[in-house]
Structure 1
Amino acid sequence: MTPDEYLAAVDEPRQADVRALDALIRESAPDLPRFLYGSMLGYGPFHYRYASGREGDAALIALAAQKRHFSVYVACASQGRYLAESYADRLPGASVGKSCVRFTTLAKVDEAVLRELIADAAARGPQEAAGPA
């Protein structure tokens, strides 16, 4: 499956939101290549390696369209804290975890803040990325 096929497979009316989210991410982080990352869209592939020797491949940003909500994952940390967490108070329409911003519709989140979060992560890049735990 390609990224475009992923987008096309999302049922309406959610397809409009997932396409808008994809465009928002690509506009906010134009230098991050888009690719299929498991069952999500990934942006900015990178390879990680922990001191323990564990290593793998991940995406700096990922977008998942689940049945009831959208999730934007941001695998980037700053000063010992996941970047998404630092934006939580500015995204009251979303449920924000350590690296995940979850919401039911794009209209429920402040798109400008979401753009800022994504651009911030892209500017920091994989050198500040936190791979999967």
Structure 2
Amino acid sequence: MSELSPEEYLDAVDEGRRSDVLALEALIREAAPGLERVVQRRILGYGPFRYRYAIGREGEAALIGLAAQKRYLSLYVLCAIDGRYLAETYADRLPGASAGKSCVRFTSLAKVDREVLRELVADAAAHGPQDAAGPDGPGHR
């Protein structure tokens, strides 16, 4: 089965989440305008890159990912600075969200500060994929 295009992904989002997803998508594109959009593993990604570990494992990931889950929205930020995942450094500024190492989850965009999300996305885009793998590799939580 082939992946959807970014437009098809957005069109397929549940009507109840669509306005939040479209607003978040616009925020990402404004804060990180140079990042290419792709769909990877049912996630709308921005800034795709290939990674390779010293042990030889390699794959594809995206610097920023957006997923509309059943109960929440997920913003994945695969960027680490000085050994710390960027998303977790913003956790205290996003009290309406649940933030892990590389993922920020929230039930509604109204529950989080959009300016803080914009700053997080811009910060990740400024560092780029060279730092995206983080200390534990892409997608590690």
TM-score when normalising by structure 2? 0.92
Equivalent residue in structure 1 for 2:58, among 55, 69, 90: 55
CA distance in 1, matches of 2:78, 2:121: 10
What is the rounded CA distance, in whole Å, between the counterparts of 1:90 and 1:20 in structure 2?
20
Q: Structure 1 residue runs of 4+, over 3 Å off?
A: none
Partner residue, 2:49: 46
Unpaired runs of at least 5, structure 2: none
Q: What is the number of residues matched between the two proteins? A: 133
Q: What is the percent sequence identity of the aligned residues?
A: 71
Kindly state the Cα deviation for residue 125 of structure 1 after the two structures are TM-superposed: 0.2
Where does residue 88 of structure 1 map in the other structure? 91
Cα distance, 1:51 vs. partner?
1.2
Among residues 3, 11, 33, which one is paired with 1:30 in the alignment? 33
- Where does residue 104 of structure 2 map in the other structure? 101
Q: Show CA shifts across 1:87-109 (max 9, x none).
A: 00000000000000000000000
Root mean square deviation, CA, Å? 0.8
* Matched-pair contact (CA < 8 Å) for 2:97–2:106: yes
What is the TM-score normalised by the length of structure 1? 0.97
* Residue 70 (structure 1) aligns with: 73
